[in-house]
Chain A
Amino acid sequence: MVEVTKLIHKYLRHDKKFPHVWCPGCGIGIMLGALVRAIDRVGYSKDEIVMVSGIGCTGRLPVYVDFNTLHTTHGRALAFGTGVKLANPNLKVIVVMGDGDAVAIGGNHFIHAARRNIDITAIILNNSVYGMTGGQFSPTTPYGMKTTTTVYSNVEQAFKISELAVTAGAVFVARGTVYHAKLLDGLMEKAFLKVGFSVVEVISHCHTQFGRLNRMGSAVEMMQWQREHAVTVEKARQMKEKELQDKFKIGVLVDRELPVYQDEYEKVRKWSQGVVKK
């Protein structure tokens, strides 16, 4: 198994200060491990990957990895990524975002990237809180939860990121958790290999802010919570609606074929040059 870690070191930027900036036990490090393993298994060269991130704890990920890395403005990572991908379709664009970055300020870009089915993989680390800024609630914070901006408890309904992506048009949508790290490797690999807009929602935890305010315990207890509340898609099929009440499905939720943006735009180029009859 030591190859697992040796491999990660192959992809880290060693002129950056380690250990990384995230809190002890934060799920982002686990997700980074799965991300790097999946990249290695798919066999991308370091030069062809562009790792884009927005602002937030997850935003600090690209600086640690030895790819072309782009740390953009809050919520706009997917729009930056769209420009990179269209300008050079040979680049493999991977966009990592937090839940706030992706579906709060970035919500408009998220649904349009899905609708366009641009060939980008979006990895969304969902810990239901704005961790970097100290623990405010986010669009995925469950009803009734306490955060630094919902001290009387949250009265808003939460987004389901994966279902949102499916409705908006993404061709591959999967959900995993940082507890199920092995499953995460596989989901990310499938997402990278899928041509079109692929989304991997990674349920993670923020014990420093969210866990503390809601007395959910340490990173370990929050990962145990993930184990108890996650149900694989296959198993969920045999479960009744009531049983699935406070559970969430993990695994591949959607894997379908839809026209991919740059292939379609290639047609536009051909039509404009009178090459192919419409």
Chain B
Amino acid sequence: MKEPKKPKEPPNIDIYRAWCKGCGICAAFCPTGVLARDEAGYPYVQDIDKCINCGWCEIRCPDFAITVEQKKRRERRTKEEREKERPAREVTSG
């Protein structure tokens, strides 16, 4: 299986602490050891660079409490996406 091309910019992992129950499934099954568990058992991102955006943590989370978002490389983002990201107030006053 060809080693997936490592995106220059690592994906963004969000852990939704309000829903996470610290079951440890995401950390245990992350193929590249991106996640680790703190002393209370809750997951945290230990090494984002290892993340290959496979999404196995997200798909196996019983509480939908972890998401992996692959940010597109800067120059390829289209005009509307940049538009969307700027705070709305600034756009309307323009």
Contacts and interface: CB of A to CB of B under 8 A. Distances in A.
A223 B67 contact: no
B22 interface: yes
Count class of interface residues, chain B: 20 to 34
B94 to A, nearest CB: 29
B41 to A, nearest CB: 9
Interface in A25-54: 25-30, 33-34
A239 interface: no
B55 A4 contact: yes
B69 A33 contact: no
Nearest to A30: B62
B33 interface: no
Interface in B21-45: 21-25, 28-29
A24 interface: yes
A219 B25 contact: yes
Interface residues of A, number: 30
B25 A223 contact: yes
Contacts of B29: 220, 223
Contact of A9 (B11, B28, B64): B64
Interface string A5-39: 11011001000001110111111111001100000
Given A19-B18, A181-B59, A2 B24 contact: no
A54 to B, nearest CB: 20
B40 to A, nearest CB: 12
Nearest to A1: B55
A5 B23 contact: no
Given A1-B70, A2-B68, A24 B60 contact: no
A146 B70 CA distance: 45
Contact of B58 (A5, A9, A28, A223): A5
A18 B19 contact: yes
B59 to A, nearest CB: 5
B60 A1 contact: no
A236 B57 CA distance: 28
A34 B61 CA distance: 11
Given A1-B70, A181-B59, A220 B64 contact: no
- The 6 residue pairs across chains A and B that have the minimum distance between CB atoms: A29-B62, A25-B23, A1-B55, A24-B21, A24-B23, A2-B69
Interface of A: 1-2, 4-6, 8-9, 12, 18-20, 22-30, 33-34, 178-179, 181-182, 218-220, 223
Interface of B: 11, 14, 18-25, 28-29, 53, 55-56, 58-70
Given A5-B58, A181-B59, 10 more contacts: A2-B67, A4-B55, A5-B64, A25-B24, A25-B25, A33-B59, A218-B23, A219-B25, A223-B28, A223-B60
